[in-house]
Amino acid sequence: ELSKNGWLLDIEKLTLGENIGEGEFGAVYEGVYMSQRVAVKTIKCDVTAQAFLQETTVMTKLQHKNLVRLLGVILHKGLHIVTELMTKGNLVNFLRTRGRSLVCVHNNALVLSVDVCEGMEYLESKKLVHRDLAARNVLISDDNVAKVSDFGLTKVDSKVSDKAKLPVKWTAPEALKKEKFSTKSDVWSYGILLWEIFSYGRQPYPKMSLQEVKDKVEQGYRMEAPEDCPPSVYSLMRVCWEQEPRKRPGFHKLREKLDREMEKLSPGSGS
């Protein structure tokens, strides 16, 4: 199916460059494919490669300005997944290194939040659940646009890994306990991601162990607002963290709320 639709790329047209990251299943390289700068994720293990190949079929059907775009795959000594190059790396490092100098203005933090929300709104509209939404899985383009990455691949993770490997600090209680993943469990993760953005890339639930997080969150404990976080943004986090999934807003609703925040913080520029 991939070859029929042109998603099978030609290794001869690919030039591999420097190693730019390590994924769970293999290294990520910078490269050039037919004069376009790309990122290449290599998966050496054949079994994993097969599973990934199935999931990339999902990815080929998704296109949105806030999702990292798949160019195609190369089958050669395992699997190479070729995507657009996101020169500014992942959102955690972006926030930590540029932190207050770039993101300080709440406006910029909000722009990043809206970007991610729009990507997720698109996935929601396609009835797809990400399962691993976190700042480390959001990448930043050369022109500072935040795009969601690793969508469509996350189901592979849950097959390969077990419950013990769930990203506890980002996962909704019902997903942790009963493996009930849904758009609303993605919304919970999005709330944690908002907290990461407005704390400039801090690790969530600082100083708490995973077991402690599991137990306390179940009992109703929630993180405090990050320093200098606008109260209205913190209240968005809190609705994302409603214990009851159906009390959480969807991404469409969240985006509307964020748009309103943008208007409040940049008065006069409303056009």
Catalytic residues: 132
41 annotated among ligand-binding-site residues: yes
The b-or-e profile of 82-99 (16+ CB within 10 A means b, else e) is bbbbbebebbbebbeebe
121 touches 187 (CB < 8 A): no
Shortest distance in whole angstroms from residue 14 CB to ligand ATP:
14
Q: What span, in angstroms and rounded, lies between the C-alpha atoms of 219 and 211?
A: 13
Closer to ligand ATP by Cβ: residue 21 or 245: 21
- Using left for φ > 0, alpha for ψ between -120 and 50, and beta otherwise, residue 3 falls in alpha
155 touches 131 (CB < 8 A): yes
Shortest distance in whole angstroms from residue 25 CB to ligand ATP:
5
Closer to ligand ATP by Cβ: residue 181 or 241: 181
Q: What span, in angstroms and rounded, lies between the C-alpha atoms of 213 and 209?
A: 6
Shortest distance in whole angstroms from residue 238 CB to ligand ATP:
28
Interface residues with ligand ATP (CB under 6 A) are: 20-25, 28, 39, 41, 68, 83, 85-86, 89-90, 136-137, 139, 149-150, 153
Closer to ligand ATP by Cβ: residue 45 or 239: 45
Closer to ligand ATP by Cβ: residue 162 or 227: 162
Shortest distance in whole angstroms from residue 199 CB to ligand ATP:
19
Binding residues for ATP: 41
